């Protein structure tokens, strides 16, 4: 069955698939298998043109990332259709006077380039690979990213008021062929009561003194990198001598950035406190708004005594719940230290935003615990790490477990509602495209007219 919201089998909207793809000029094409493309206009949408290089560079970049499956011609056609769609959206944005600020584009550019710099390992490696400076890369990407942001805004406006009624949801479900109704795996709904003991003052003082001692040793000539390898508690950077790689503004802890951007090359900061713990920072290099620094992170630990006290407190809470002296929901409000205490302690699935989890989406400790539980059963205290990696304990309640089954309206209404919404939004966007395209000057060169487009771009 074609998933709701997909435009064709095998190819989702290319702009979404290629969220991080960098479409360079024909320089990249010259680097790939000695392929050189003589550029030409392959399509015109209103006042906007589509070049062969617009298609080919996206195709080649996608191939470099190992993302190609299916027929190459079909992928090029899918890329062209997505560009046509984007150009049509841009034409509409001009009519609607929709504007994207330079600050919005710069922020998105910084986010994407930060990801690419980390993937390559350093800014120098990125620049070497593409034979361009970071400034040149940003200049070439600017209009591409701006067009993508405009397209997103126009599409959001098209579907912003779309809703689905219960009858539409039922009709959508009945329209799915019986043998194509999706199989729903076993799913769990879980609630928690978290007890997070605070770090005591003595431990914070101990960590700060240790970090100050490391800073003194470095200032006397010992290697920052060696100290980071030996002592830093940041698992991602410690093995690299504390080096983080290049980051732009807004990508690191605010307190960390506020200090790091003021450092000169080679300078070492005083202690900086963030949610992760305490740091000292050394500036390696700065290029424009991007910095590459080393840091040593030490995280204060909850004492074993405080942790055991939290466990014992949850033990007492569990006994009260099992004796029906208090409901689980009341206990969540009274005793939990977690942010979800006002929503019944329900765990939120970060992949879906809902409260249902498949087994592989669960933390290993949670999965191991609830696998042996009955619905409405309360666990014994289970050790955990909070989002900021602090030690804590929690009680778990298995609220619901569903067996593997074909999706049905009774058990999977919210999922079917989402599918119906996606399907309706897709149909509305497709209708908008066909209506708008019928009123817009569109020309496509002959060799691309054989493409099997999802929308009608030919009859102009």
Q: How many domains does the chain divide into?
A: 3
What stretch of H or E contains 126? helix 123-130
Residues 69 and 145 in one domain: yes
- Dihedral sign, CA of 338, 342, 347, 350? negative
At 320, give phi and psi (nearest 5°). -65, -40
Residue 64 has a pLDDT of: 57
Is residue 54 domain-resident?
yes
List strand residue ranges (DSSP E) for 36-99, in order: 41-45, 48-51
Residues 286 and 388 in one domain: no
To the nearest 10°, report the CA torsion of 144, 147, 153, 155.
-100
Residues of the chain with pLDDT under 70: 1-38, 61-70, 458-460
Residues 146 and 61 in one domain: yes
Is residue 64 domain-resident?
yes
Is residue 90 domain-resident?
yes
Residues 162 and 231 in one domain: no
Which residues does 179 contact at the CB level (< 8 Å), separation at least 6?
none
Half-sphere exposure of 10 (CA within 13 A, CB side): 13
Residues 222 and 274 in one domain: yes
Residues 263 and 152 in one domain: no
Residues 311 and 391 in one domain: yes
Residues 276 and 323 in one domain: no
Residues 285 and 208 in one domain: yes
Half-sphere exposure of 125 (CA within 13 A, CB side): 10
Residues 317 and 391 in one domain: yes
Residues 111 and 231 in one domain: no
Residue 439 has a pLDDT of: 86
CATH number for position 275: 3.10.50.40
Is residue 9 within 8 A of residue 2, CB to CB? The reply is yes
Residue 36 has a pLDDT of: 47
Specify the residue for token string 């900061």.
Answer: 269
Residue 277 has a pLDDT of: 92
Is residue 5 domain-resident?
no
Is residue 453 domain-resident?
no
Residue 388 has a pLDDT of: 75
Summarize pLDDT for 96-154 with one digit per residue, the tens. Answer: 888 888 888 888 888 888 777 777 777 778 788 778 887 788 887 888 888 889 988 89
Summarize pLDDT for 356-412 with one digit per residue, the tens. Answer: 999 999 999 999 999 999 999 999 999 998 887 788 999 999 999 999 999 999 989
Is residue 174 domain-resident?
no
Is residue 171 domain-resident?
no
Is residue 412 domain-resident?
no
Residue 99 has a pLDDT of: 84
Which of 249, 279, 298 is a domain's end point? 298
Which of 298, 327, 349 is a domain's end point? 298
Residue 70 has a pLDDT of: 62
**Other C-beta atoms lying within 10 Å of the C-beta of residue 34:** 7
Domain extent, residue 213, equals 201-298
Residues 268 and 320 in one domain: no
Which of 281, 298, 315 is a domain's end point? 298
Residue 61 has a pLDDT of: 62
């Amino acid at each position: 069955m074609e998933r709701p919201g997909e435009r064709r089998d095998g190819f989702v909207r290319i702009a979404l698939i290629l969220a991080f793809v960098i479409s360079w000029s024909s320089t990249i094409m010259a680097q790939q298998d000695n392929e050189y493309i003589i550029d030409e206009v392959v399509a015109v949408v209103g006042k906007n043109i589509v070049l062969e290089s617009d298609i080919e560079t996206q195709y080649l970049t996608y191939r470099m990332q190992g993302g190609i499956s299916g027929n190459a011609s079909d992928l090029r056609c899918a890329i062209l259709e997505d560009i046509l769609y984007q150009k049509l959206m841009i034409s509409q944005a001009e009519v609607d006077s929709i504007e994207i600020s330079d600050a919005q584009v710069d922020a998105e550019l910084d986010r994407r380039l930060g990801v690419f710099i980390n993937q390559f390992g350093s800014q120098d490696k990125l620049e070497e690979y593409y034979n361009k400076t970071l400034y040149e890369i940003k200049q070439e990407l600017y209009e591409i990213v701006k067009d993508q942001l405009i397209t997103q805004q126009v599409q959001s406006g098209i579907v912003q008021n779309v809703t689905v009624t219960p009858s539409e949801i039922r009709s959508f479900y009945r329209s799915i062929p019986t043998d194509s109704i999706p199989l729903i795996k076993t799913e769990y709904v879980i609630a928690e009561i978290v007890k997070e003991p605070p770090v005591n003052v003595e431990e914070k003082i101990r960590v700060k003194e240790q970090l100050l001692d490391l800073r003194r040793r470095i200032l006397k000539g010992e290697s920052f990198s060696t100290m980071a390898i030996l002592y830093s508690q940041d698992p991602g950077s410690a093995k690299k001598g504390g080096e983080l790689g290049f980051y732009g503004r807004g990508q690191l802890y605010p307190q960390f950035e506020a200090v790091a951007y003021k450092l000169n090359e080679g300078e070492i900061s005083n202690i900086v406190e963030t949610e992760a713990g305490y740091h000292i920072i050394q500036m390696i290099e700065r290029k424009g708004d991007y910095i590459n620094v080393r840091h040593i992170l030490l995280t204060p630990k909850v004492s074993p005594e405080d942790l055991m006290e939290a466990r014992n407190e949850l033990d007492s809470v569990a006994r009260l719940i099992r004796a029906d002296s208090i409901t689980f929901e009341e206990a969540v409000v009274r005793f939990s230290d977690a942010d979800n205490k006002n929503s019944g302690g329900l765990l939120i699935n970060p992949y879906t935003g809902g409260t249902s989890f498949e087994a592989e989406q669960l933390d290993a400790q949670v999965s191991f615990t609830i696998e042996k539980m009955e619905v409405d059963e309360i666990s014994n205290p289970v050790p955990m790490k909070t989002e900021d990696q602090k030690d804590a304990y929690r009680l778990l309640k298995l609220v619901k477990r569903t067996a593997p089954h074909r999706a049905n309206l009774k058990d999977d209404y919210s999922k079917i509602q989402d599918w119906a919404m996606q399907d309706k939004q897709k149909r509305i966007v497709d209708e908008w495209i066909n209506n708008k395209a019928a009123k817009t000057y569109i020309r496509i060169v002959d060799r691309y007219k054989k493409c099997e487009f999802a929308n009608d771009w030919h009859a102009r």
